[in-house]
Amino acid sequence: MGIAKSHETFGTGHDRPLPRARSLALVRPRKSGPRIAAVLTLTVAAVAACLAFVPIQQTVNGYGQVIVYSAMDRPQNIEAQISGRLVEWRVQEGVTVKKGDVIARLEDIDSKFLDARQVERLREQRVALGRQRQRSEGRIREMGEQRTQLSASRAAALSAASQRIRQAKERERATYQALIATRKGGDIARDVARVSAGERVRQTDDRILQAQQALAFARQNAQTAKLQRDRVAELFKEGLRSRRDDELSENDLVRTRTEVERAEAALQIARRDRTLGGLDQNRTDIEIDRAEAEIERADANLEVARRDVMNAVFDRTRIEADTAGAINSLSASIESARESLAKIDADRQKLDVEVENVVGRRGQQVIKAPRDGRIVRVLRVGTGETVKAGDVLATLVPATEDIAVELMVNDNDIPLVSEGRQVRLQFAGWPALQFAGWPSVAVGTFAGKVAVIDAVDDGTARYRIIVRPDAAQIAKSRDEPWPSLTRLRPGAEATGWVLLDTVPLGYELWRQWNAFPPTVKRAPLGEKEKDELKPLKDKDGEKEKPYIPVKGTK
């Protein structure tokens, strides 16, 4: 106060104050200082309390677009199936079509399909091949019957040949047995008959010798009797002997002479027997020769029987060879006919394929809607324009409500995202107010759930996730359903926040200032998850980054 007063007093006598007095005036204490200190203290305390106790939910944000979830329901190009000339358009852009509705007509310009009667001509060729097939089948049946008959005759001929072989072997066996018997007979003739004949000759010789001895003895007796008769006759004449002695001597002489004649007759008989014995021996030799001739004949018959067996076996072999050759020839002809039949069937199938191709080709001249939807773009206009196979004629958006959102998340945040995580979505054209840490106070956002997470990045260290509507939240009326495709069309931009765990506000600020990743509660890492988290390696051992095109990236 004293300083201020002196300053005022000092200023009354001069035009401007001194610099020293003005500085003192600037540093004088003010009465608002305590209030400011109190406010700052309360503010710091409130901020500290908020940082320590106010919860905030961590999020991972991503940007993407609206898509159709089902691959069959996504916008598709209607292409020309064949090269041709555009002759008619049946639709305009924005027209709703049903599955099977005709969109356009083409005129084929391929020279192979210009014949208007090509299908009829191909079918006539098929009918001709059918007749040819019937003839081939008839020929196969005839040759099959011939082969059956030839097989039956072959079996009969082989049976007869086998019977002839058995008969020839029986004759051979009988001839061999006859040969053995003949040889035995010859041996007997040689061994027994010849010995018997020799024995008879020797006996006859003995009888001749005995007869000769008996004849000599009889002659000696006759001579003695004659001498005795002469002496007795002299003595009888002289009367020295009686008549009886004379008669007895006469009788002795007659008897001795008779014995001589008998001995001579016996000798003649013995000699005749000797002659007959020689004849018997000759007959025995003849019988032996006959037996040897029979043996030779039996040998010849055995040889003939053996030749008959060989001829019968040869005939059977010849029959087998001839009939087998004929049967094989018929079988080859049948197989050839079957090959012709198979070729005919193949030609018929080719004709069927050609007919189907022609019919299908003509069907491809008519461009039809593959499913229900709306024509959004016609790329070829004017009749007479030539198009190639694969050229896009129009674009069809199928009628579906199966929408989803694909978001791109960087590689720093993608490990924290898992399937089933809740997502808050903001669509372009729908006003929204989103508080990242407090989704409950967000306005204009829609609920979703993570359905798919790509296993690889898009080549720029970003990963795609697909978010579908959270059906559970929508069914419980906790969130509004997503807009329909008539208002929310595929390709519309979308922003998403994947909701993670709830943490204190101070921790979240500290994490963001230090660029730490969010925290999530995870189950223990298993072997399967470890394998899934391993980076893909290429041949050189470097991390492989397959390229997945995404709208807005190059």
CATH number at residue 87: 2.40.50.100
Instruction: Indicate whether 198 and 342 sit together in one domain.
Output: yes
For residue 434, which phi and psi values (nearest 5 degrees)?
-115, 125
pLDDT range class, residue 548, cuts 50, 70, 90: very low
**Which pLDDT score, from 0 to 100, does residue 441 have?**
47
Instruction: Indicate whether 410 and 314 sit together in one domain.
Output: no
pLDDT > 90? residue 63: yes
Structural domain contains residue 349: yes
Q: Give the Cα separation of 462 and 454 in Å (integer).
A: 10
pLDDT digits (tens, 9 = 90+) for 146-162: 888 888 888 888 788 78
Q: Give the Cα separation of 74 and 400 in Å (integer).
A: 9
- Give me the mean pLDDT over the 512-536 stretch: 54
Number of domains in the chain: 3
Instruction: Indicate whether 60 and 189 sit together in one domain.
Output: no
Q: Give the Cα separation of 411 and 58 in Å (integer).
A: 17
The strand pairing partners of 466, in sequence order, are 406, 452
The strand pairing partners of 56, in sequence order, are 503
Instruction: Indicate whether 261 and 229 sit together in one domain.
Output: yes
pLDDT > 90? residue 494: yes
The CATH number that applies at residue 65 is 2.40.30.170
The CATH number that applies at residue 245 is 1.10.287
Write out 169-234 in H/E/C secondary structure: HHHHHHHHHHHHHHHHHHHHHHHHHHHHHHHHHHHHHHHHHHHHHHHHHHHHHHHHHHHHHHHHHH
- Give me the mean pLDDT over the 416-439 stretch: 76
Structural domain contains residue 13: no
Cβ density class 222-238: b for 16+ within 10 Å, e for less: beebeebbeebbeebee
List, edge to edge, every strand of the sheet that includes 102-108.
Answer: 366-368, 102-108, 84-89, 386-387
Structural domain contains residue 552: no
Structural domain contains residue 267: yes
Structural domain contains residue 212: yes
Domain interval for residue 229 = 119-362
Q: Which of 16, 122, 36, 82 is nearest to 389 (CA)?
A: 82
pLDDT > 80? residue 313: yes
**Which pLDDT score, from 0 to 100, does residue 108 have?**
81
The dihedral built from the CA positions of residue 79, 85, 90 and 91, taken in this order, carries a sign that is positive
Which residues have CB under 8 Å from 161's CB, separation 6+? 312, 315, 316, 319
**How far lies 552's CA from each of 408, 491, 520, in Å?**
11, 11, 31
Q: Which of 402, 407, 452 is nearest to 425 (CA)?
A: 407
Instruction: Indicate whether 426 and 487 sit together in one domain.
Output: yes
Q: Which of 71, 356, 375 is nearest to 367 (CA)?
A: 375
pLDDT range class, residue 406, cuts 50, 70, 90: very high
Report helix, strand or coil for 475: helix
Instruction: Indicate whether 388 and 474 sit together in one domain.
Output: no
Instruction: Indicate whether 367 and 441 sit together in one domain.
Output: no
- Give me the mean pLDDT over the 221-246 stretch: 80
Q: Are the CB atoms for 72 and 372 separated by under 8 Å?
A: no
Instruction: Indicate whether 496 and 510 sit together in one domain.
Output: yes
pLDDT range class, residue 551, cuts 50, 70, 90: very low
pLDDT > 70? residue 541: no
Q: Are the CB atoms for 312 and 136 separated by under 8 Å?
A: no
Q: At what angle do helices 118-188 and 243-364 cross, to 10 degrees?
A: 170
Last residue of a domain, one of 371, 392, 413: 392
**Which pLDDT score, from 0 to 100, does residue 433 have?**
56
Q: Give the Cα separation of 115 and 441 in Å (integer).
A: 72
- Fill in the amino acid letter for 298: A
- Give me the mean pLDDT over the 365-380 stretch: 85
CA dihedral 349, 355, 360, 364 (to 10 degrees): 140
What's the chain's length in residues? 554
Mean per-residue pLDDT of the chain: 77
- Quick one: what percent of the chain has pLDDT higher than 70? 78
pLDDT digits (tens, 9 = 90+) for 240-272: 777 777 777 788 778 887 888 887 887 787 777
pLDDT digits (tens, 9 = 90+) for 432-449: 555 555 555 455 789 899
- The structure tokens listed for 332 are 């080859």
Cβ density class 143-154: b for 16+ within 10 Å, e for less: beeebeebeeeb
Q: Are the CB atoms for 306 and 313 separated by under 8 Å?
A: no
pLDDT > 70? residue 190: no
Instruction: Indicate whether 123 and 110 sit together in one domain.
Output: no
Structural domain contains residue 486: yes
Last residue of a domain, one of 343, 362, 381: 362
The strand pairing partners of 373, in sequence order, are 97, 398
Instruction: Indicate whether 106 and 254 sit together in one domain.
Output: no
Instruction: Indicate whether 413 and 374 sit together in one domain.
Output: no
Q: Give the Cα separation of 554 and 547 in Å (integer).
A: 10
Q: Give the Cα separation of 428 and 439 in Å (integer).
A: 18
For residue 75, which phi and psi values (nearest 5 degrees)?
-55, 135
Structural domain contains residue 317: yes
The strand pairing partners of 443, in sequence order, are 433
Instruction: Indicate whether 61 and 82 sit together in one domain.
Output: no
**Which pLDDT score, from 0 to 100, does residue 542 have?**
46
CA atoms within 13 A on the CB side of 165: 13
- Fill in the amino acid letter for 330: L
Structural domain contains residue 515: yes
